[in-house]
Amino acid sequence: MCGFFAIVFDKENKEMGKILTKAGRRLSYRGYDTSGVVVLDDKGNFDLRKDVGKIDEVANRMNFHELSGKRGIVQLRWATFGYPSPENAQPHADCDELIFGAHNGNVVNTHSLREKLIKEGHKFRGENDGELLVHVVEKYWKREGNMVAAIMKAAHDLEGDYACVLTERYGEKMYAVKKGSSLFLGVGDGFICVSSDLPAILDHTRHILPLEDGEFVEFGPDNFILRDLETGEVIWKEPQHTDMEVKEAEKEGYPHFMIKEIEESPKKAEELLHLLPSHPSYEEAVDLINATEKIYITGAGTSYHAALLGVYYFSKIAKKPLLISFASEFAELHGPVLEDQDLLLVVSQSGETKDVKNVLDYFREHSKGKVIGIVNVLGSTIALKSDLVLPIASDIEISVPATKTFINQVTVFLYLSLLSAKKRMIPSPAGFDILELVPGVVKESIGIAKEKVSEVIDAIKDIKEFYILGYGITYPAALEGSLKVKEVVYVHSEGMYSGEFKHGPLSIVEDGYPVFFITTREDRHMVLSHMNEVKTRRGKIITVAPPDPELERISDIYIPLPTSNYFLIPISATVFFQVLAYNLGVLKGIDPDHPRNISKTITVD
C-alpha cells in the first residue's frame, strides 16, 4: 500500500535525497509498485524524480543521492487508480508545477472529479487519484489565494479515506491532511516532518503528534499549526515523547523475511507468554467479554482466520459464543442487529487495514459498546481508536504473508478463552499449562515441516489446484494454509470443511487429485470417512495430523505433527502450510516477501 514521508529543514540539506531514500525504505514493507521523490528549495527550484520499481532500484537509477534541498517528499505507491507507470507514480504536480503533493489511501470519486476538472481546463499527466487531489487543491488555491483555504475547500470535494502532504513551489511551508488514513507529525531540532508511518519519523525525532481524522497541519521547520479541516479552527496539541524503538529489520542471513519470520515464531510466542499475565489490558478485556452477551469479532485475511480459531477456542474452552464475520462484510451481516451494549473485537496485524477500520467506525456510529483491538502495530489507527488494546508482541513483520503474527494472535485467543473460563468458573477441557507448550510445538512443527516438505512438493509441484480440508477446530488452519499457498505460490487452493466436501466438490476428484486433510485425534473417525470418500475416487490423500497408524494407512503422504493436543493442532498444521507455501513459492521463482498484486497493509476498500 502507499506510504509517504515529507520533511522541511531550516536550511538547505545536502543529504536530502539520501534522507528520502531511507524513509522510503521504512515505508517499503507495505508493498508497492512505484517510488518517487520531489525536492524543493526556497527559490522556486524543484526536482521531481519517479519511476516504476522498488525504492532502492529507482533511487540508484535516478540518482536520488545527489538531491539536496530544504523540503522533500518521498512516496511509494501501490496501484489502485492507474497502472504502475512513471506518470502515475507519486509525488504529483498540478498543471503549472506550482504545487506538489503525494497521498496515501483512495479518493473514490476520482473518475467524476477528473472529468469535471478536465472540462474546466486542467491538464492531467496520468490517471492516479493522488494527481487528482493535487489538481483539486490547485483549483481552490487559484481561487482563494492560499493553501489553508484551498485544502479545506478541496476536502469537501474529495470523497474517500486518505492522508496527503502538499507544498507550494514558491513557498516555505508544507501542509498535511488526515482524513481516514494514518498520519504522524514529528518535531525535531531544525526540522519538522510528517509520515503515514511512524518508523519513518522515528529515525529523526521522538517528539510525535499523531493526527486525528479531520485535522490538518501547516508546518515549517520550526513550528506547526494544527487545524480542524471543517472549520479551520486552530487545535492546540503538543507532541509527546515516545520511547518506541525502531528496529532495523534485517534478514540476518535468511534468504527471505518470510522464512526468517516463520523461524522466529517460537521466540515471539515465548515473549508473548511472558507479557500476557502481567499486562492489565488482558484481564480487563476478559472482564468485558465475560460481562457481555453479544460479542462480535472481525478481521481480514490471516487475522480473520486467527479470529475464527479464536471463536472455536471461546466456544470449546470458555463456552462463550462469538459472532464472527469478515471485516468487509461486517456491516452487511451484523449492521441491522447491532445494539448499544454489544462488544466488538477487531483483529489486525497492521492496525491499518481499511476494511477493519471501517468496521470500527461503523460500530461507533451504531453502538455505544466498547471496542477491543488485538493488534501488532501499537501506534496504528486501530490501536488508537480502540477502547482497549491487546498487544500481540510479534515485533515488526516485514514479509507480506503473515506468519509469526498468526501464531501470536491465536495464542492470545487461547489465553483469553482460558482466562474467561477460569473467571467464570467454567470447567475447561484445557489448563493454562497448554500455553507453555506453544513455542515448543511451533519449533518442532517447523522442523518436521522442513523435513517433509520436499516429499509433498514432489507430489504437488505441477498441480494447478488442490483442496485443504479441516474439520471443526482444524478448519481455520485449512483456510489459512490455503491462503498462504494462494499468496505465495500463485496456485488455487481451497480450504473447506471436510464434511462439506461430499456436497459437490467431490466431483472434481479423479485419479491422483490431491486433497490435504488436517485432523485431530478426537475427530479422526469422522475425518476417516471423509478420507475414504476421496480415496475410493482415487484421489491422493495428504494428511497433516498427529501420528496415527490408521490415518497413515489410508494416506499417500503423511505429515506427523509433533503434538496430539487438540487445541494446538491447528497451530502446528498452519506452520506446516507456511513452510510448504514458502518452499514451493521459492521453487517457482516467486519472491515470497513481495507476492504480486498484494500488499502488507491494505488501506483501501
Question: What angle (nearest 5°) sits at the alpha carbon of residue 22, between those of residues 16 and 27?
Answer: 125
Between 302 and 420, name the residue whose CB sits nearer to ligand F6R.
Answer: 302
Sequence-distant (6+) residues with CB within 8 A of 217 are: 175, 176, 185, 194, 211, 224, 225, 226, 227
Residues binding ligand F6R: what is the number (CB under 6 A)? 16
Q: Is 95 designated active site?
A: no
Is residue 595 a contact point for ligand F6R (CB under 6 A)?
A: no
Least CB distance to ligand F6R at residue 602 (A): 5
- Rounded CA separation 423/318 (Å): 10
CB of 487 vs ligand F6R, minimal distance in Å: 6
Q: What is the Cα–Cα distance from 234 to 226, expressed in whole angstroms?
A: 6
Tell me the DSSP string of 213-236. Answer: TTEEEEE-SS-EEEEETTT--EE-
- Alpha helix (H) residue ranges in 524-564: 524-535, 549-554
Query: For residue 118, what is its C-alpha cell?
Result: 478536465
Q: Which is nearer to ligand F6R, 76 or 154 (CB)?
A: 76
- Give the SS3 label for residue 9: strand
Q: Using the rule CB under 6 A, give the single segment among 208-216, 347-355, 511-519, 543-551 that binds ligand F6R.
A: 347-355
Q: Is 402 in the site for ligand F6R (CB under 6 A)?
A: yes
Give the helix/strand (H/E) hosting 375: strand 371-375
In 3D, which of 335, 387, 388, 389 has the Cα closest to residue 358? Answer: 335
User: Of these residues, 2, 164, 370, 484, which one is catalytic?
Assistant: 2
Rounded CA Rg of the chain: 26
* Interactions with ligand F6R, residue window 453-492 (CB under 6 A): 483, 487
> Does 348 participate in binding ligand F6R (rule CB under 6 A)?
yes
Q: Which helix (H) or strand (E) holds 20?
A: helix 16-27
Query: CA 358, 362, 367: angle at the middle one, nearest 5?
Result: 150
Closer by beta carbon to ligand F6R, 40 or else 581: 581
Unique residue bearing C-alpha cell 506550482: 98
Which residue is catalytic, options 316, 370, 385, 600?
A: 600
Decide whether 400 or 430 has the Cβ nearer to ligand F6R. 400
Q: How far is the CB of 434 from ligand F6R (least distance, A)?
A: 25
If binding is defined by CB under 6 A, does position 261 make contact with ligand F6R? no
Interaction between residue 401 and ligand F6R (CB under 6 A): yes
CB of 395 to ligand F6R, least distance (A): 14
SS3 3: strand
Pick from 128, 350, 563, 578 the residue near ligand F6R by CB under 6 A. 350
Region near ligand F6R per CB under 6 A, out of 78-86, 348-356, 424-432, 559-567: 348-356
Q: Which of 353, 386, 543, 572 binds ligand F6R (CB under 6 A)?
A: 353
Instruction: Write out the three cell numbers for 142.
Output: 487559484
- CB half-sphere exposure, 271, CA atoms < 13 A: 15
Three cell numbers at 31? 508493498
Window contacting ligand F6R (CB under 6 A); options: 32-40, 193-201, 395-403, 577-585: 395-403
Preceding amide of 336 cis, omega within 30: no
Q: Tell me whether residue 486 is one of the annotated catalytic residues.
A: no
Q: Which among 240, 235, 169, 232 has a CA at the least distance from the CA of 207?
A: 240
Q: Among 236-244, 349-357, 522-530, 582-590, which window interacts with ligand F6R (CB under 6 A)?
A: 349-357
H or E element at residue 13:
strand 3-13
According to the binding rule CB under 6 A, does residue 563 interact with ligand F6R?
Answer: no
Sign of torsion over alpha carbons 415, 418, 421, 425? negative
* Interface segment toward ligand F6R; rule CB under 6 A; list 105-113, 334-342, 343-351, 531-539: 343-351
- 381 counts as binding ligand F6R under rule CB under 6 A: no
Q: Which window, 210-218, 271-279, 346-354, 572-580, contacts ligand F6R (CB under 6 A)?
A: 346-354
In the region spanning residues 293 to 322, those forming contacts with ligand F6R, defined by CB under 6 A, are 300-303
Asked if 602 is part of the footprint of ligand F6R (rule: CB under 6 A), the reply reads yes
Question: Which residues contact ligand F6R (rule: CB under 6 A)?
Answer: 300-303, 348-350, 353, 356, 400-402, 483, 487, 601-602
Name the residues annotated as catalytic. Answer: 2, 600
